[in-house]
Amino acid sequence: MIGIFDSGMGGLTVLKAIREEMPSIDVLYFGDTKNAPYGSKSREELSRLTIQAIQILRARSARSIVSACNSVSASMTVSLMDTFSLSSEGTPEYLLEMVGPTVSYFKESTARLLLCATTATIKSQMYQNAFEMIGKHVDTLAIPELAGAIEAGAPDADIERVIRTSLEEIEMKNYDIVILACTHYPLVANVFERILGKSILVFDPAVAVAERVKKQLWPREMADGKTIFLLSQDSEPFRMYVELLFPKSKYSIEVLQ
């Protein structure tokens, strides 16, 4: 069984892409809805929550873990754990995260890139440095309120206002692709597309992450295709998105006490 975690419903976009690649993988998904949103938290808080999330998943026998949260990558805990195997029993066999697969995807690209993400992600300079390492430049834009608004199930009109307000600062004709580097944002990709029009491509990194997961974990994780969702606090919008994205799947939702 693989474990996936995020602050809340954002990781569902990654789960969906993984499911499309590997329908018969068993998944334990932890949404830390009680502590969402993560994107405005400090690196220290994010490190603490990351370790906690990994422990929850490991305690329920998830062998390999996918951090479906860019803000968690920004805390660097995930990459440090991966590199140094920080705690022997707590360390998963495989630990995959968002930044590496996303940046690698653009290795051969000559497109002009704008990356939108949470404040924590942009402030960490993680993406900026990673793109520089492959000899590319990326411009960035933090959209501070957006993940929280999506997580709260805000109506489309509010989501559109939040996105428009942030994009107002940007000269959009300078870009070919907008990378949605917060896993919540693809849930409202249609709003981005409406605002940006046809000349700009809206890119969801979940595809690249799912490919990487398949490369590392298939076929060793072949199983029955069941999904268990664990939430740190019940959330109606979370339940709604699960129904919307996985209408035909067998799943259960458990709220941790």
Q: What single DSSP character describes residue 186?
A: G
- Least distance (Å) between residue 55 CB and ligand DGL: 19
**Contact letters for ligand DGL, residues 14-43 (x by CB under 6 A):** ----------------------xxxx----
Identified binder of ligand DGL from the candidate list 77, 121, 124, 235, rule CB under 6 A:
121
| Token pair 């402030």 in the structure block, residue | 123
User: Site for ligand DGL (CB under 6 A): which residue of 64, 67, 124, 183?
Assistant: 183
Q: CA 244 → CA 9, 36, 84, 193, 247, distances in Å? A: 12, 21, 39, 20, 6
User: What does the alpha-carbon distance between residue 198 and residue 119 come to, in Å, rounded to a whole number?
Assistant: 27
Q: For residues 99 and 128, what is the distance between their CA atoms, to the nearest angstrom? A: 10
* Residue 148 structure tokens: 């929280």
Contact between 118 and ligand DGL by CB under 6 A: the answer reads yes
How many angstroms separate the CA atoms of 163 and 156, rounded? 11
Q: Which residue stretch of 129-137, 181-189, 199-207, 215-223 sits at the interface with ligand DGL (rule: CB under 6 A)?
A: 181-189
Residue 182 catalytic?
yes
Interface pattern 44-83 for ligand DGL (x via CB under 6 A):
-------------------------xxx------------
Dist. CA 189–CA 207, nearest whole Å: 14
CA distance 178 to 224: 36
The question of whether 116 is a catalytic residue gets the answer no
Binding site for ligand DGL (CB under 6 A): 6-7, 10, 36-39, 69-71, 118, 121, 147, 182-184
